[in-house]
Structures are given as structure tokens and as C-alpha cells.
Structure 1
Amino acid sequence: MKKIKKIVALALSSTLVISSLLLGGCSSKQVDNSAQKLAADGKKEVALNIFQFKVEIAKELEEAAKAYSAEHPGVTINIQTVGGGDDYGAALRAKMQSGEEPAIFNIGGPQDVKDWQPRLADLSKEPWVSKAVEGVLPGVTVDNKVYGMPFALEGYGFIYNKGIFEAAGIDTKAIKDYASLEAAVKKLDNKIKANELKDKYPKLEAVFEMPAKETWITGLHTSNAVLSQEFNSALDAFAAKKVDFKHGDALKALYDLQANYSPNAKSKGKLNAIDYATQVGQGLAIERVAIIQQGNWVYNDVQKIDAKVAEQLDILPIPIKGVKEDSIPVGVPMYWAVNNKVSPEQQAAAKDFLNWLYTSEKGKDYVVNKFFFIPPFKGYENFQPKDSLGAAVNRYAQEGKSLPWVFMGYPTGWGMDVLGQEVQKYLAGEVEWDEAIKTAQAKWEKARKEKK
């Protein structure tokens, strides 16, 4: 079997790591069968509630849950999805306070582990732990105890439609830094405005769509590309008492490029009303725009609208002007956590379901072929990503052109509620860039002092 080595810079690893994905598998016999035994004994029905954030896989996750319940008739799984334009963190806190605590929920990196520590079950003895790709567990490990199961490996950058660029006569292989990206954007913009692409792409109206309403995109993802040059890992960011914005001008350039070549270039404040659905489903998927800043997770949404467009997608780097200009951030988006406050039977069922999902053959098929995840575990030799964006992330990883995800180490709420909102004010002309940065810096320092 052909060996593939992936070099992946993870949010939770301070250096690039090389992981062989062909080492051993996890057979269904290794999975803890506590929930199955409960059902077989017929002594107790188990209701398993899951509260998760990944809207892109909501339907497919429900299908996987039904498949699991068919094999484990004593277990009923109820799934509630909150994400996209909604604040999952705030929704989770409200859910916990309501008294209807889920058995499975999602956490980010070290900051979330600290915030939710009283409710996190120890997962250290689960079968999947030994199968985890190197570097994905440090940020959810405290005192040698593992408190989170990684969702997937994901990468994000500037997703673009190859057909549009080809029609415009632009060679994307030559785009390797900010200068070449900016030149390509200007060329494409001129052709769009001159209606040169109208016959083939009648809906095309701008190069970018920038969803500034989604502060998780601007405040977390865009900033991460730049702050990954200031912090080596999420753990490094988590320990930092201040943020210097050493490359603040490069961050400004990324925001400006997207805003200046969007449909709202002349009225940037309107970008604050643009959401994920407008950017992806009503933008890239219908070829109204040529580029969006997003990750491989959008493939499923685009494919549901137009499979041909989905296969035309690829990823350009997010170039950090003057620093790292040919790479994309690659890391773990979130982790599954098991609530130690629910009954022992529910905890057992929760652990069993997660094991089944990532280690059984049927579960692996859902993970790779229906969720379109890049698995964070070994033993997926027969389940390699086939979608265009998963392949693109793999390409960057294999070439060592990846940046760590450090935003999981930001102070709680800082990325979305502070920096993301300052970016909105900047776009609306309410504050100057330097003022926005100073406010974000001050609130980072204040949050760190309050957490002492």
C-alpha cells in the first residue's frame, strides 16, 4: 500500500510534525461496548443528547446517529446543531444553565478546556487516543489526561473557482505571495468590470465576498493567519499576557484586499451584514464571486447547490505580507467532549458513539465520504479524501506549506467579540485601523489579568 507522509502544522503543536497515516487500524472489536451491552441486557434505554456546532454536517451527523442506533437499539441519539451565524460558545453556556445538559458537546483548545474543566470527562483510556495523529491532543491534555476528541484536520485559505481564473487568463500557479495575489485580483476585477466574462459567468459581479458579519471568520480565522507568526501554537497564545500585532499591517492588507474587491467596495459598512450563507451558498456556489476566505468544510454546502462548481474549487494561500506568503492554516477546528455530569450510562453511550464514529468501517465512511473530513486518526488507508478542497488541504500539508491554528488560545471571546467587532467598526469608518488594534490589545491584556 502506498505510503503518504503528511506534514501538518497544527494549532496545538509548536512545530511542524510528520505523521504517517498508514500505521495500524482500529477494529470494531477494540471499541468499548458499554452502551451496546446496556441495550442487549434490556435493562435501560439510554437517551444521548449531542449539542454541536458544525452546521455543514448537521444532516449527515443525524444519519450517522441513526446508523449507530440501528446497531445499538437501546440507544436513542438526539442532535442539536448551533453554529454558522450563531455564537456556539454563548449557546452552549445557555444550554448548560438551562438544566438540559448534553452528554456530548464541543470545545476548542486550552482556553475552553480551562473554562469547561468541571464538566469534562477523562477520555485518556479511549481506544482512539493511541490512533490520534501526532500533535492533535496537547491542547486538550492536562496533567496527562485527555479531555477532547479531535473533530478533523481542516485547512482554510482563499478558495477560488478555477474555471473563472482560467477564463480570465490568470495562471494561479504563479500566485505565491501577496504581490502576485493582488496583481491577479486586480486583473480579474478589470475583466469583470469590462464584462469580458459575462457570457460564461453571467452572475459574476466581484472578485471577493467578505462576510464581516461572521466575526469568527474575521476575528478568528483571518487574524490567526497573521498571529500564527507571533505565537508558535495555541498553547503559546494561551500563555501570552499581551498581543503585539507584530504584523498588523499584513492583517490590515488581508482585510482591505477582500473589502476593496467585493460587491460593497464603495460602501464597506454594508459588509457587516454579509453572512456565511451569502458568501458561500449565494456567492461562490452560484459563481457570483470568484474567491472567498473559507476552508475545506464548505465543500459539502457548495456541492449540494452545484456539484460541478464544487469540483472546480481550489485553495490559494493566505499571504502574510512580508512574512509567510505561500501557506494556509491547518489544524483542528473543534473537539468532542463528554459531559461528566450526565449519568454513567449516558457517559458510556457517549464514549461508545464517538469510538464507533471514528473507528468502525461504517463510521469512517461517514467521516470521510459524507462529512468530507480529513481524519485526525491513523487507520484510514481506504478512506482518503476525494473532494477537491480536501485534496487541496492535503497538498499544502504534504508540501509543508501550513500555519498553526493559534486562535484556540485567544482569551475567551476575544477573537469574535473584540477583534471581530473592531474590524466591523473599521469597515464602517467608525474607527481608524490603529485605534482598532489598540482596543484589541488592551482587551487582551485585561482578559489575561482577570484570569489570574
Structure 2
Amino acid sequence: MQLRKSLALGISSAMLLSVLAACSGNNGNAPASSSPASPAPSSSAAATEEAKDVKLTFFNTSAEVNNVFEDLFKTYHELHPNVTIELIPTPIGGAQLEKFQSLLASGNPATMANLDPGTILQFKDKFLDLESEKAKYEQLTKPGAVEGALLDGKFLGIPWTAQGYGLLYNKRVVEESIGGAFDPSTIKTRSDLAALFEKVQAAGKAPVMIHGADWSLGAHYLALSYSLQSNSVDTNRKFVEDMKNGTVKLSDNPQFTGLMDTFDLLKKYNARSKDPLVADYMKDSTDFAKGEAAFYFMGDWTWAVIGTLEGRDQEFGILPVPISDNSSDFGNNQVAYSEPKLFAIDDSGSSPEQQAAAKAFLEWLVTSEQGQEAIVTKMGLALPYKDVKAKGTNVISDAINTYVDQGNVINIGVINYLPQDYWAKTGASMQKYLANKIDRQGLADEVEAYWKSNAGK
């Protein structure tokens, strides 16, 4: 599991997929088609267009919210009786890519698809270039949202979800430990964090929780070293290419060494240090929410667990993961941020009428009161849009949005260009490091070997 399978929603989205029950739709995979109705009495092109019955299909990889999408399709049909939308459901976490590929191969692609950016990139020639819509969405979305959704420089997918991660904190535990109000802006360096951990431990509480799963360690923690090279996704892609070519030594890279120095600090104060690889996501999230640890390296998707708990604490926030003792270094004041799912429109088998209807529906979905209410309150997701009318309950997303609004984010879009197994293979190496089975040089050697291997190319 990973953020991009999720950020997944998962990276993503992916995490939501691991903890929510499926609500699969009952509709079959009906072919996308459009059938003209009787000619309209008006001779105008607009009247003729309105008179056409258009049938759209929607391929959904966020399977846990299938029923929410189906309700939205019904609402839209009531508003636009000539447009019918049918869900193509997929199972949670399984065979989604294979099903999408089979639809393409059969010549029966879905008109619209909710996909990981990496999947859209993989099949980029099959999707409609939305360049004509780009300026509009740049006005509608928060700064950087459209830029973060670009794939090889093209606007192929409309952003609709936003997720972030870093060091979540339980406000009650932190404030009881320090004996007063906690100002997160005071933690600007690794030394600041270490001093805070000392206070928490001295108060008899566990300073931090590290979730020991490979997706958390490989996709979320270690992969920060690729995104921290610069603000530019292209520059970060070049860094990965240099690793593939064997021209990068991680042990000489300040972002990697700084990140791992911080990881050593997290290891030292890890609440799970006696058994670091158990990786029970539900238990880790629950224990953090109920005050068993002050901090938790995780993302806002964990609200799917925390938000439903009885007897939990109420106030949570997030800190960036500091990578140095220079407060101005990139990463010390920014949280990791991505758009783990995008809406794409088919350009391989859909008619112009279907494409136009799909554009109109997707714009309604992310801007209308009905659409935003469903996404924010029913799906529990954050929208990267300026004018969001709905108010959700995810206080961690709210905390991340503060960083987003200030432009203090790390664009982790480089992961959209990484091979499918990067998080599992390098995550396994991180697990060895967490369990003290290899040292820092051994970790660097294993990660470099992965990127120089065929698996990393």
C-alpha cells in the first residue's frame, strides 16, 4: 500500500482504501454510448445539443465511496435529464489497473475515470488533453494545485483530492508535557524537535509513534529524500535518473543524510521501539488518538480511523519533518502534499458529445454545493479549491490546509514517475534500518542498488 495507490488516496485515497468498508455499486460495465433523441423543435445548435441523450460511464478506483458517487450521478441526472452516468465499480485494493486495461483493450473505455496520477501518465495517450480547461481550474483551485497535477507538462487530470503528511501531534499530550500552550511554529529545526521530545519523555509519555509498514517507511518517509531536492518536480526526476545511472551517492546527499538523521531521532523516541515492525495501522492510529504518543508520522487519511473513535482526544495538528538545524532549509517549514487522485476524460473511444458532457459534470462535481458537500462531508476528503462551501470534520486536513494556503508545502509529484515497486523494495530496506538489521551505509547501498537494478528503470 502506498500514497500514490491512495497518497495515496494514498498515496490514497490509498490509506482510506485500507481502512474503510467497501460500498460497491451494482451497475455493470455498460458500454459508453450516446444516442440522439428526437430532433428539438429549435434549429439552434444549443437546442440540438440539449436535446441529445448522452450516456457516460465513470471508472472509480476510490471504491470505498462508490455509493456516494452513485448518489451524485442521480442528483446530476435530475438537474440534467439528458445526461445519464453509470458507475464502473472496482474492488478495494485489487485488480483495478487490470480492469482499466481490459476496458481499453476491448475498445470500451470509461468516459471518465478517477485514477492515480501515475496510471494517467502510463496511459497518457488515451486521455483528453484538458489544456482548454487549464486556466479555468487555475482560477478555481488553490495555488499550485493545477501545477501539481501536470503530467509531463500536460493537464490530463482535474485535481479533486488533497492529502498531506508529516508529524501529527496530539495537542493535549504535548501541552500537558510542556506545561502550557503549544505553538507549532516554534519547532523549526531538528534540535527544536529533539528538545520537545525530551520534555515529553520526561513527563512520562511516549514522544512519537513510527508505523513500521513498508508503505509508510518507503513511500512516505524515504521518498521525501527525492522530493526534498528542490521545489521542481523536473529537478527531482533528474535526481532519480541520476540514481538509476549510478551517479548519485546518497551518503553524500544532504537531503538524504538530514532526513535519516531525523529518522534516527524518531527511532530513539519511538513508542514501538521494542517491536518496531508490528505495523498495526488501526492500533497505532487509535493509540495516538487516545494519547499514547505525542506525535505520529502519518497523514491526514488516518482521520478515517481517528474520527470514528470514542474516547479519543479532540485536538490534533501537524508539524513538518525537520531535516536540519538550519531553520531556512527547504523542508523544515513545509509539509508533504499531493493530489493522489485525478479525474481524467477518455480520448480513445468517447464521442465529442460525451467529452463535453463529462467536462460539464466534473466541473459541477468540484464546484457545486452538492458535489462539495458529498466530497468533504460524506467522503471525508479535502478539496484543493479556493471556494469550498462544505465544512468537514477532519481537523488534521484543516491543519495541513494552513500550510497549503501559505504555500509551505513539499510537492511530492515526483512519485508519479516512479516504478510501481519502489515503495515496497526500498521500504523493506527501511524496515531493516528501523529494526537495526543494517546501518546507514547499508541502507544507502540497498537503496542505490535498487535504483541501479532493472527494477528501478
TM-score higher than 0.5: yes
Partner-residue secondary structure (3-state), 1:364: helix
Which of 165, 172, 192 is the matching residue for 2:182?
172
Tell me which residue corresponds to 2:336.
329
What is the deviation of 1:391? 3.1
Tell me which residue corresponds to 1:318.
321
Which of 253, 256, 263 is the matching residue for 1:248?
256
What is the deviation of 1:165? 1.5
Partner-residue secondary structure (3-state), 1:403: strand
Partner-residue secondary structure (3-state), 1:325: coil
What is the deviation of 1:358? 0.8
Give the letter aligned to residue 353 of structure 1: F
What is the deviation of 1:319? 0.9
The superposition leaves residues 36-70 of structure 1 with CA deviations (integer Å, 9 ceiling, x where unpaired) of: 99899897673623222485x66655554453344
Tell me which residue corresponds to 1:221.
220
Tell me which residue corresponds to 1:278.
283
Query: Superposition RMSD on alpha carbons, in Å?
Result: 3.9
Give the letter aligned to residue 229 of structure 2: E
The superposition leaves residues 78-107 of structure 1 with CA deviations (integer Å, 9 ceiling, x where unpaired) of: 364666xx4x7xx43322344485544345
Which of 286, 298, 301 is the matching residue for 2:302?
298
How many angstroms apart in 2 are the aligned matches of 1:156 and 1:143? 25
The superposition leaves residues 327-380 of structure 1 with CA deviations (integer Å, 9 ceiling, x where unpaired) of: 3123433322233345437655543432221122322333444445443344x1
Partner-residue secondary structure (3-state), 2:203: helix
How many angstroms apart in 2 are the aligned matches of 1:250 and 1:58? 42
How many angstroms apart in 2 are the aligned matches of 1:177 and 1:150? 32
Which of 106, 122, 145 is the matching residue for 1:115?
122
TM-score normalised by L of structure 1:
0.71
How many angstroms apart in 1 are the aligned matches of 2:444 and 2:311? 41
How many angstroms apart in 2 are the aligned matches of 1:38 and 1:71? 18
The superposition leaves residues 236-255 of structure 1 with CA deviations (integer Å, 9 ceiling, x where unpaired) of: 22344224441223222343
2:193 equivalent to 1:181: yes
Partner-residue secondary structure (3-state), 1:180: helix
Tell me which residue corresponds to 1:416.
423
Partner-residue secondary structure (3-state), 1:172: coil
How many angstroms apart in 2 are the aligned matches of 1:190 and 1:390? 30
The answer to whether the Cα contact below 8 Å between 2:114 and 2:343 also exists between their aligned partners in 1 is yes
Taking structure 1 as reference, are residues 99 and 396 closer, same or farther at Cα in structure 2, changes over 3 Å only?
closer
Taking structure 1 as reference, are residues 408 and 166 closer, same or farther at Cα in structure 2, changes over 3 Å only?
same
Which of 146, 154, 158 is the matching residue for 2:163?
154
Taking structure 1 as reference, are residues 35 and 377 closer, same or farther at Cα in structure 2, changes over 3 Å only?
farther
The answer to whether the Cα contact below 8 Å between 1:150 and 1:376 also exists between their aligned partners in 2 is yes
Taking structure 1 as reference, are residues 144 and 35 closer, same or farther at Cα in structure 2, changes over 3 Å only?
farther
Partner-residue secondary structure (3-state), 2:401: helix
What is the deviation of 1:268? 2.5
- Structure 2: gaps of 5 or more residues: 1-32, 39-48
How many angstroms apart in 2 are the aligned matches of 1:54 and 1:224? 26
Taking structure 1 as reference, are residues 350 and 260 closer, same or farther at Cα in structure 2, changes over 3 Å only?
farther
Give the letter aligned to residue 213 of structure 1: A
Taking structure 1 as reference, are residues 336 and 139 closer, same or farther at Cα in structure 2, changes over 3 Å only?
same
How many angstroms apart in 2 are the aligned matches of 1:385 and 1:104? 26
How many angstroms apart in 1 are the aligned matches of 2:35 and 2:208? 50
Taking structure 1 as reference, are residues 69 and 96 closer, same or farther at Cα in structure 2, changes over 3 Å only?
same
- Structure 1: gaps of 5 or more residues: 1-33, 194-205
How many angstroms apart in 1 are the aligned matches of 2:152 and 2:274? 53
2:175 equivalent to 1:209: no
Tell me which residue corresponds to 1:78.
87
How many angstroms apart in 1 are the aligned matches of 2:96 and 2:444? 29
What is the deviation of 1:117? 1.4
Within-5 A mapping of 1:15-414:
46=55, 48-53=57-62, 60-61=68-69, 63-72=71-80, 75-78=84-87, 80=89, 86=93, 91-99=95-103, 102-109=110-117, 112-126=119-133, 128-129=136-137, 131=139, 132-138=141-147, 140-141=149-150, 145-169=154-178, 172-173=182-183, 174-192=186-204, 206-215=206-215, 217-240=216-239, 241-243=241-243, 244=248, 245=250, 246=253, 247-271=255-279, 274-275=280-281, 277-280=282-285, 282-306=286-310, 309=313, 311-322=314-325, 323=329, 324-344=331-351, 347=355, 350-378=358-386, 380=387, 382=389, 387-413=394-420
How many angstroms apart in 1 are the aligned matches of 2:91 and 2:323? 32
The answer to whether the Cα contact below 8 Å between 1:158 and 1:315 also exists between their aligned partners in 2 is yes
The superposition leaves residues 231-283 of structure 1 with CA deviations (integer Å, 9 ceiling, x where unpaired) of: 33223223442244412232223434444434430233334xx33x3333x33
Give the letter aligned to residue 235 of structure 1: D
How many angstroms apart in 1 are the aligned matches of 2:354 and 2:172? 49
Give the letter aligned to residue 296 of structure 2: I
How many angstroms apart in 2 are the aligned matches of 1:366 and 1:48? 19
State which structure, 1 or 2, has the greater radius of gyration over its C-alpha atoms.
Answer: 2
The answer to whether the Cα contact below 8 Å between 1:152 and 1:333 also exists between their aligned partners in 2 is yes
How many angstroms apart in 1 are the aligned matches of 2:389 and 2:114? 28
Taking structure 1 as reference, are residues 375 and 96 closer, same or farther at Cα in structure 2, changes over 3 Å only?
closer
How many angstroms apart in 1 are the aligned matches of 2:174 and 2:36? 56
Taking structure 1 as reference, are residues 228 and 238 closer, same or farther at Cα in structure 2, changes over 3 Å only?
closer
Residue identity (%): 23
How many angstroms apart in 2 are the aligned matches of 1:242 and 1:38? 57
